[in-house]
Structure 1
């Protein structure tokens, strides 16, 4: 069922009128440094959750709004605070869950930012700050869409509505599955919208239909019981850095493609995406060649990738003339749709243990796994969402894959197999999520809000 033009126009007027308030509220959230990583103060994540609860309560449409936490795995430790708000469906209307996360990545070095990471700053048509795009903009897109629906159609709607704003997505969603089990009845729905993805560009919306999974772990290589003088023993005793370098070099072939036996690829259609676009969006330096083989988007969406995202070793400034006894790195592997994260980890573990040079001791710990995801695009919710995007953007949406991962989606599919999952977002190729100078395009923000407001209106009219 398609909303009438007059209904869309009313919603567009409401979104436009409410946009300044939505941006101001988003700025307030960005000022809270809600980094969910273990090394950061969890009080800030709690403060962020409380701020979001206040915004949700102000909507005046939910029967229950609360902060909830679940245990991590089988431990007695609890995950970070999440927000859960519920409103029951009436008169046979469907129920929709709107998901986003209010935690953020660490900011990195302040000197890499053009403005302070937790001081939201507008430059041109973009709002800069950590979490401005990923994913506090997702939180505010949901809230602003509900505001627009209430403004245009009143608060007495029949649509069932649930808000689930997670507090630890950036730290692996370690309590996510237990949270779903703990609140299974409340989260049961016809449709789930996950607002944590990308758009094709600032003028073209996208519905994400494929996501790579992920396997991350700490890899430690040991060769000595203690550090030794590099002049006295170098050339005979292998140091851990040499062993680690040799080991890491086996993960890729000469073209840069992954060379780990057992990691698989899949086939999928991809739109045109020239190398020039990759160079611009990925910020390749002049003279640096892309890696891998096949169509560029197939490399990003349908093939595995392995990245060393961190290394524990002496800095250059503190380097001494010693052979290092141990070196640790963080491995981040992206897994192509069609392969389980468990089988991918088995392949990676087998490879690194077999490839360790000089008999070096290999240790693997701090493991996280998340399965990839392929959307079933045959459901009615996909058609409704794409029509809402067309009405809000004035452009046909593109079905895309994403090279990044949203591992918890596989948990949603497992526990709610009848629910249709829609992966949308407020980001664009220049949002630089997780990087310094993360930003939100304000035009994309407005159109994302309107898309969701139209979708809510359409579902409210669906008998």
Structure 2
């Protein structure tokens, strides 16, 4: 018989000071993987997490991963707790590395000193993903001897760097990952007051495009008119990818509607404010704002090689190079979308310019199973812990290791939860976590684990 919120809630409340202290000490470790995933600071962060999870009953160890070419990789935390060989096994995921702080002056507090202000704890990694570690620790502590499922944990040390050694590590440690349910605590809620399951993630594919018009630059006064410069031709090519409403209009690139149905659309005013849009800008695309953000494709020029304005002079550029990042619908294979985009670019070369495309990388999207037992248990747990109905939401970003885990363990049911909310500012200045929501997230996960035992 699973526990209820009246039994779990007081346990979480009594333990919450410990959880906040854990999170505060984690912030202070400055576990910035961009400064070197093999560094001593990352090993120390992994060791801290391993010791904290050991305090709540998990047998842990710190292992250094290897990349596909055999070079040393990230410091990972793996662990387990076996309660019953016949019980379901749940894998708990989070990551212990954090984003860098390029400009500490943009923060209102010291980014590596956890500071509570008006019910939120500020600090780099407080929500992404120290909050995920705190949720796992708090839930396991709350259940204690009432834990009736087997637990495996994996706390990654390089998520913010794209997880280069993740797949080799999983493939060489499959026994430590094999499970019936995987809970990925690296996403977030609709708000601090309304919980969410993450229903889908977009995939991604990146490519470099070169537009060439001549063998060398020529004088714009002598040749300008019949010859358009490569920058202009590149701009024409990019604009041809869209229809008049701003929808991506490339045959073969698919669009989807929100997985599990749309329960509530995104608020446009909030979205505009969060993105700091200029007042005159009209949002591109058609259909619900949620679909445009979560399940329809989006294309971004993330780099462009051109002569800087300073020092520019009157020549026609012979070639231009730009990098495209395509976010793909959750179910579309990124290789398929990449090929469709590449074919379109080459076949739509303006004025017969020479267009070449170089692939970079691909990542598959993911969609949850709305009918899975774990999904239904999670929704019921959220409703009980928060006292309101959850509003499921997708994510426009990509977490490539989730579909890779699903590929390696196809029978496992995956739940994507997490500590974030729209005010959390993950990856940005003044990152923070709502402490009241963190408490309810812990109750939620404890309830999920209790329900899964049934």
Gaps of 5+ in 2: none
What is residue 313 of structure 2 aligned with on the other side? 321
Provide TM-score, normalisation by structure 1: 0.85
Asked if structure 2 preserves the Cα contact closer than 8 Å seen for 1:213 and 1:335, the reply is: yes
> How do 1:67-82 and structure 2 match up within 5 A?
67-72=63-68, 75-82=69-76
**Which of residues 109, 134, 141 in structure 2 aligns to 1:147?**
141
**Structure 1 pair 360/55, CA: closer, same or farther in 2 (3 Å)?**
farther
**Which of residues 411, 414, 419 in structure 2 aligns to 1:421?**
414
**Which of residues 30, 34, 52 in structure 1 aligns to 2:31?**
34
Question: Do residues 174 (structure 1) and 167 (structure 2) align?
Answer: no
Gaps of 5+ in 1: none
Question: Do residues 398 (structure 1) and 388 (structure 2) align?
Answer: no
Asked if structure 2 preserves the Cα contact closer than 8 Å seen for 1:221 and 1:326, the reply is: yes
Determine helix, strand or coil for the equivalent of 1:389.
helix
**Structure 1 pair 252/64, CA: closer, same or farther in 2 (3 Å)?**
same
| Stretch of structure 1 that moved more, 135-144 or 323-332 | 323-332
| Stretch of structure 1 that moved more, 251-260 or 224-233 | 224-233
Asked if structure 2 preserves the Cα contact closer than 8 Å seen for 1:53 and 1:67, the reply is: no
Take 1:238 and 1:346, find their aligned partners in 2: how far apart are those partners? 27
Question: Do residues 248 (structure 1) and 238 (structure 2) align?
Answer: yes
Asked if structure 2 preserves the Cα contact closer than 8 Å seen for 1:64 and 1:87, the reply is: no
Give the Å deviation of 1:243. Answer: 4.0
Asked if structure 1 preserves the Cα contact closer than 8 Å seen for 2:207 and 2:323, the reply is: yes
**Structure 1 pair 222/383, CA: closer, same or farther in 2 (3 Å)?**
same
Take 1:3 and 1:293, find their aligned partners in 2: how far apart are those partners? 45
Take 2:125 and 2:395, find their aligned partners in 1: how far apart are those partners? 19
Determine helix, strand or coil for the equivalent of 1:398.
coil
**Structure 1 pair 314/84, CA: closer, same or farther in 2 (3 Å)?**
farther
Give the Å deviation of 1:240. Answer: 4.8
Give the Å deviation of 1:310. Answer: 4.1
Take 2:196 and 2:362, find their aligned partners in 1: how far apart are those partners? 26
- Matched pairs, number: 448
Asked if structure 1 preserves the Cα contact closer than 8 Å seen for 2:37 and 2:75, the reply is: no
**Which of residues 97, 105, 116 in structure 2 aligns to 1:122?**
116
| Stretch of structure 1 that moved more, 246-255 or 159-168 | 246-255
**Structure 1 pair 81/283, CA: closer, same or farther in 2 (3 Å)?**
same
Give the Å deviation of 1:305. Answer: 0.8
1:110-133 deviation per Cα after TM superposition (whole angstroms, max 9, x unaligned) = 454444544444332223333222
1:289-331 deviation per Cα after TM superposition (whole angstroms, max 9, x unaligned) = 2111011112122211112234455666x55437566655443
Determine helix, strand or coil for the equivalent of 1:272.
coil
Question: Do residues 162 (structure 1) and 152 (structure 2) align?
Answer: yes
Asked if structure 2 preserves the Cα contact closer than 8 Å seen for 1:145 and 1:452, the reply is: yes
Give the Å deviation of 1:89. Answer: 3.8
Question: Do residues 102 (structure 1) and 96 (structure 2) align?
Answer: yes
Take 2:104 and 2:251, find their aligned partners in 1: how far apart are those partners? 40
What is residue 378 of structure 2 aligned with on the other side? 385
What is residue 3 of structure 1 aligned with on the other side? 3
Asked if structure 2 preserves the Cα contact closer than 8 Å seen for 1:87 and 1:162, the reply is: yes
Give the Å deviation of 1:393. Answer: 0.9
| Stretch of structure 1 that moved more, 379-388 or 112-121 | 112-121
What is residue 264 of structure 2 aligned with on the other side? 272
> How do 1:63-462 and structure 2 match up within 5 A?
63-72=59-68, 75-90=69-84, 92-150=86-144, 153=145, 157-219=147-209, 221=211, 239-268=229-258, 269-273=261-265, 274-311=267-304, 318-321=310-313, 328-357=321-350, 359-360=353-354, 362-365=356-359, 367-459=360-452, 461-462=453-454
Take 1:228 and 1:136, find their aligned partners in 2: how far apart are those partners? 55
Give the Å deviation of 1:224. Answer: 7.0
Provide TM-score, normalisation by structure 2: 0.87
Take 1:328 and 1:55, find their aligned partners in 2: how far apart are those partners? 48
**Structure 1 pair 309/149, CA: closer, same or farther in 2 (3 Å)?**
farther
